[in-house]
């Protein structure tokens, strides 16, 4: 199978009879072969229908404009929100990072190993710490200091760079700055954050200490899309690790770093493979 011949169709629409049959006939009529399909209906078939269809179509790139134009008629008929993408078109990512490197290192390693199906366009940091590490991988590294007095100018420069490097999505790999609503408007549902807690428990900047003080038996990490409400965006992936009374706050942070990097890499990978559909403040992840 040639990667350039593989397409993905993602659909969200009111659930009603005929959606699957109509979409299947559309792809068949255009000579496409469905190679994988996932679907989910909310509220037991009376709410929203969501699906991800992967198909093969020779010479897909040349046919995409015609497919999109023709599918608009079907989408209008069923009230669909949809997008059509070529699997060969890798998303271009920008990674934002501060001092801690574990989440950044995991993304760099998975990219080098070919497990992360994306192009790492650049890394932006408010510290110069990781410059040599990133540039050894042949990736641009830009240091943009951020203070309370320069935050607006820093974000303006960040947005300029994201546009210059044609970035599709932003990954906050333990970037310890809160992005402004103005910044978020440029990348709706395209900024992924890793929070060092199993949300919605222990929001804020020091969740491991809070978890220790509470005496929890599980710690975790949460990857989510960023919204204006801090640590409250749609959750993409979570994982946990069992702990006990022998673990102190430093132990929790050490164990948590492993969970954080794995959870973030999974979420970023699923986003890049078009496996995540939004449903209100939730996600449907076809994995």
3-state secondary structure labels for all residues of the chain: CCHHHEEEEEEEEECCCCHHHHHHHHHHHCCCEEEEEEEEECHHHCCEEEEEEEEECCCHHHHHHHHHHHHHHHHHHHCCEEEEEECCCCEEEEEEECCCCHHHHHHHHHHHHCCCCEEEEEEEECCCCCHHHHHCCCCEEEECCCCCCCHHHHHHHHHHHHHHCCCCEEEECCCCCCCCHHHHHCCCCCEEEEECCCCCCCCCCCHHHHHHHHCCCEEEEEEEECCCCCCCCCEEEEEEEECCCCCCHHHHHHHHHHHHHHHHHHHHHHHHCCCEEEECCEEEECC
Q: How confident is the model at residue 233 (pLDDT cuts 50, 70, 90)?
A: very high
Together in a domain, 211 and 268: yes
Q: What is the pTM of this model?
A: 0.92
Together in a domain, 67 and 150: no
Does 2 have pLDDT greater than 70? no
Q: How confident is the model at residue 45 (pLDDT cuts 50, 70, 90)?
A: low
Does 72 have pLDDT greater than 90? yes
Torsional sign, CA 160, 165, 168, 172: negative
* 64 within 8 A of 7, measured Cβ to Cβ: yes
Could you say which of 66, 86, 106 is where a domain stops? 86
Phi first, then psi, for residue 121 (nearest 5°) are -75, -45
Does 271 have pLDDT greater than 90? yes
Q: How many domains does the chain have?
A: 2
The percent of residues in the chain predicted with pLDDT above 70, rounded, is: 97
pLDDT given for residue 89 in this prediction = 93
Together in a domain, 135 and 76: no
Pairwise CA distance, residues 64 & 86, whole Å: 8
pLDDT average, residue stretch 149-155: 96
Together in a domain, 126 and 197: yes
**For position 10, which CATH number holds?**
3.30.70.260
Together in a domain, 29 and 143: no
Pairwise CA distance, residues 104 & 135, whole Å: 13
Together in a domain, 81 and 112: no
Where in the sequence is the domain holding 185, given as residue range(s)?
91-285
Does 1 have pLDDT greater than 60? no
Together in a domain, 59 and 95: no
pLDDT given for residue 197 in this prediction = 76
Together in a domain, 101 and 206: yes
Catalytic residue (choose from 29, 231, 244, 274): 231
Does 58 have pLDDT greater than 80? yes
Does 139 have pLDDT greater than 70? yes
213 is catalytic: no
> What's the gap between Cα 114 and its chain centre?
17
- Half-sphere exposure at residue 143, Cβ-oriented, CA atoms within 13 angstroms: 9
Could you say which of 37, 53, 86 is where a domain stops? 86
**For position 138, which CATH number holds?**
3.40.50.170
Together in a domain, 96 and 57: no
Together in a domain, 112 and 212: yes
Which pair of structure tokens corresponds to residue 273?
């493979």
Could you say which of 86, 119, 149 is where a domain stops? 86
Together in a domain, 28 and 48: yes
SS3 177: coil
Q: Which of 2-11, 145-154, 177-186, 209-218 has the lowest mean pLDDT?
A: 209-218
Does 223 have pLDDT greater than 80? yes
Q: How confident is the model at residue 214 (pLDDT cuts 50, 70, 90)?
A: confident
pLDDT given for residue 121 in this prediction = 97
Closest CA to 179 of 158, 205, 204, 196: 158
Does 25 have pLDDT greater than 90? yes
Together in a domain, 72 and 100: no
Which pair of structure tokens corresponds to residue 233?
């965006």
Q: How confident is the model at residue 199 (pLDDT cuts 50, 70, 90)?
A: low
pLDDT average, residue stretch 72-85: 96
């Amino acid at each position: 199978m040639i990667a350039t011949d593989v397409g993905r169709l993602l659909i969200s629409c009111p659930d009603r009879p005929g959606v699957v049959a109509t979409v299947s006939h559309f792809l068949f009529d255009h000579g496409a072969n469905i190679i994988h399909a996932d679907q989910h209906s909310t509220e037991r078939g009376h709410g929203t229908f969501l699906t991800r269809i992967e198909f093969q179509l020779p010479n897909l790139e040349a046919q995409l404009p015609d497919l999109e134009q023709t599918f608009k008629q079907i989408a209008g008929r069923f009230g669909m929100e949809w997008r059509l993408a070529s699997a060969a078109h890798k998303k271009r990512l920008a990674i934002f990072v501060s001092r801690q490197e574990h989440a950044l290192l995991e993304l760099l390693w998975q990219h080098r190993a070919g497990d992360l199906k994306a192009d790492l366009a650049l890394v932006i940091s408010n510290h110069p710490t990781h410059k040599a590490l990133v540039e050894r991988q042949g990736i641009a590294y830009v240091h943009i200091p951020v203070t309370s007095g320069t935050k607006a100018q820093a974000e303006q420069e960040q947005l300029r760079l994201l546009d210059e490097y044609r970035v599709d999505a932003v990954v906050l790999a333990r970037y310890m700055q809160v992005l402004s609503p103005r910044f978020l408007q440029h990348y709706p549902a395209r900024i992924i954050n890793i929070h060092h807690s199993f949300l919605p428990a222990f929001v804020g900047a020091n969740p491991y200490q809070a978890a220790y003080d509470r005496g929890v038996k599980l710690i975790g990490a949460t990857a989510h899309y960023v919204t204006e409400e801090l640590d409250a965006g749609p959750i993409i992936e979570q994982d946990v690790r069992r702990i006990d009374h022998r673990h102190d706050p430093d132990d929790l942070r050490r164990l948590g770093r492993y969970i954080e990097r794995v959870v973030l890499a999974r979420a970023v990978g699923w986003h890049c493979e078009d496996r995540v559909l939004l449903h209100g403040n939730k996600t449907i992840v076809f994995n």
